[in-house]
């Protein structure tokens, strides 16, 4: 079947990276390059938002277009929005897809999640760990790694003082999420290693939304005069394709520390892919999908222990421009493997 229309029902608005990178950005690519039309909907309580949902919902239910697919993305709640979509996938089961890129079953009630996994005709997931989990409920599960958008930002030269960059959600989450949060990974894995390196470093952090975290970070490094801290503020995440890759191109290495928790093993290595897509070598925990994209000693370095992380950073500090350029070149080599075009082609081949 040649897909001609997609009804996409997301769990969050465009402030959520999954809604942008697995939903809206690919849909825009498909509209412009594959002549596939779409409706993109997420839950909102404004009159305009409710009207749009009702209109798209009734169209998908009563006047569904030929060669169309219905995608329910990451919805695990049990409110009106979720329950109406439960009814939709039962009445319009053919070519319904549930999309999941995080192990939501570890931090949310699973009733709605399991319902969609059982009732949708096909399931797309962002990691092998998620595929294994979802196969318990549905045999039609396929890998759909989260894509990085097309951009023209390319790393040029290594800075004189190594700039270590990080992009992500610094939040600690609720009590359940704290064990695998980025904040825990930064404070337990990265920050202590940086303080132990007695050479000049620059640390750039992108994605700290809680303003209380900023003075806390500065206080942590107050006795580490060798480290310069740069925290970007007031960022427009809905339009991150317009600025985030330009900022990443200023990094010398992109860092992705993760605690070895099942939730992190289920992630799609999106952070590492963002760095590599700009030609910035990645230093990443050897957890989950990271090893698929970070090729150890070729376009970055994988680590398991603090001492390995320290050696990796020190290696890049001392690295010649020639060796660094080779790492950077290799980082760019495989970005078609996680492009939006590849994302579309993977979806298309399953219909």
Phi, psi of 179 (to 5 degrees): -65, -25
Predicted TM-score (pTM) of the model is: 0.95
pLDDT of residue 170: 85
Residues 6+ apart with CB under 8 A from 314: 197, 199
Tell me the C-alpha distance between 255 and 170, whole Å. 13
The angle formed by the CA atoms of residues 62, 67 and 73, to the nearest 5 degrees, is 75
pLDDT of residue 175: 76
Alpha-carbon distance values, 336 to 66, 145, 273, 328 (Å): 31, 12, 11, 15
Order of strands, sheet of 68-73, starting from the edge strand that comes earlier in the sequence: 37-41, 5-9, 68-73, 96-100, 122-125, 141-143
Residue with the two structure tokens 């997301």:
10
pLDDT of residue 113: 98
Residue with the two structure tokens 């994302």:
343
Helix 340-349 vs helix 25-34: crossing angle, to nearest 10: 80
Among candidates 32, 14, 5, 9, which has minimal Cα distance to 86? 9
Percent of the chain past pLDDT 70, that is, above it, reads: 99
Per DSSP, the chain holds a count of helices (H) and strands (E) of 16, 12
Q: Which residue ranges in the chain fall short of pLDDT 50?
A: none
Among candidates 153, 128, 149, 134, which has minimal Cα distance to 291? 128
Residues facing residue 133 across a β-bridge: none
Domains of the chain and CATH, by start: 5-144 (3.40.50.2000), 163-337 (3.40.50.2000)
Strands 141-143 and 163-167, how do they pair?
A: unpaired
Phi, psi of 319 (to 5 degrees): -65, 140
Alpha-helical runs (H) found in 63-110: 80-91
Q: In terms of C-beta density within 10 A (0-12 exposed, 13-18 middle, 19 or more buried), how is residue 212 classed? A: exposed
pLDDT of residue 176: 77
pLDDT of residue 180: 86
Residue 144 near residue 18, CB atoms below 8 Å = no
Element (H, E) at 142: strand 141-143
Among candidates 317, 24, 316, which has minimal Cα distance to 199? 317
Tell me the C-alpha distance between 149 and 274, whole Å. 9
pLDDT of residue 210: 87
Q: What token pair was written down for 77?
A: 């709640």
Using DSSP, state whether 283 is helix, strand or coil: strand
Q: In terms of C-beta density within 10 A (0-12 exposed, 13-18 middle, 19 or more buried), how is residue 306 classed? A: middle
Q: What token pair was written down for 144?
A: 């759909």
Among candidates 302, 267, 268, which has minimal Cα distance to 282? 302
Residues 6+ apart with CB under 8 A from 19: 10, 11, 12, 13, 42, 73
pLDDT in tens, 260-282: 999 999 999 999 999 999 999 99
- Measured from the Cβ of residue 224, the count of other Cβ atoms closer than 10 Å reads 17
Phi, psi of 171 (to 5 degrees): -65, 155
- Measured from the Cβ of residue 42, the count of other Cβ atoms closer than 10 Å reads 22
């Amino acid at each position: 079947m040649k897909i001609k229309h997609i009804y996409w029902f997301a769990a969050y608005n465009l402030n959520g990276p999954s809604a942008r990178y697995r939903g809206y950005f690919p849909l825009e690519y498909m509209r412009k390059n594959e002549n596939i039309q779409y409706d993109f909907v997420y839950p909102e309580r404004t009159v305009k938002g409710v009207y749009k949902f009702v209109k798209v919902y009734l169209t998908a239910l009563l006047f569904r277009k030929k060669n169309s697919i219905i995608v329910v993305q990451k919805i695990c709640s049990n409110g009106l929005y979720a329950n109406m979509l439960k009814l939709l996938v039962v009445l319009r089961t053919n070519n319904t897809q549930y999309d999941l890129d995080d192990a939501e079953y570890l931090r949310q009630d699973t009733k709605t999640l399991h319902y969609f996994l059982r009732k949708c005709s096909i399931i797309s997931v962002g990691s092998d760990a998620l595929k294994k989990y979802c196969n318990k409920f549905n045999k039609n599960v396929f890998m759909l790694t989260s894509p990085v958008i097309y951009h023209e930002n390319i790393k040029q030269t290594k800075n004189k003082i190594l700039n270590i960059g990080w992009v992500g959600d610094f939040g600690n989450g609720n009590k359940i999420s704290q064990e695998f949060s980025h904040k825990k990974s930064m404070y337990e894995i990265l920050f202590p290693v940086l303080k132990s390196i007695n050479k000049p470093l620059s640390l750039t952090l992108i994605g700290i939304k809680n303003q209380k975290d900023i003075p806390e970070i500065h206080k942590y490094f107050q006795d580490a005069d060798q480290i310069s801290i740069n925290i970007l503020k007031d960022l427009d995440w809905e339009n991150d394709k317009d600025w985030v890759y330009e900022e990443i191109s200023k990094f010398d290495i992109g860092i992705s520390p993760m605690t070895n928790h099942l939730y992190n093993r289920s992630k799609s290595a999106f952070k590492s892919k963002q760095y590599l897509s700009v030609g910035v070598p990645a230093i990443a925990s050897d957890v989950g999908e990271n090893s698929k994209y970070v090729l150890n000693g070729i376009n970055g370095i994988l680590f398991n222990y603090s001492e390995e992380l320290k050696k990796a950073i020190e290696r890049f500090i001392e690295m010649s421009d020639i060796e660094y350029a080779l790492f950077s070149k290799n980082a760019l080599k495989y970005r078609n493997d996680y492009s939006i075009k590849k994302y579309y082609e993977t979806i298309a081949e399953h219909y």
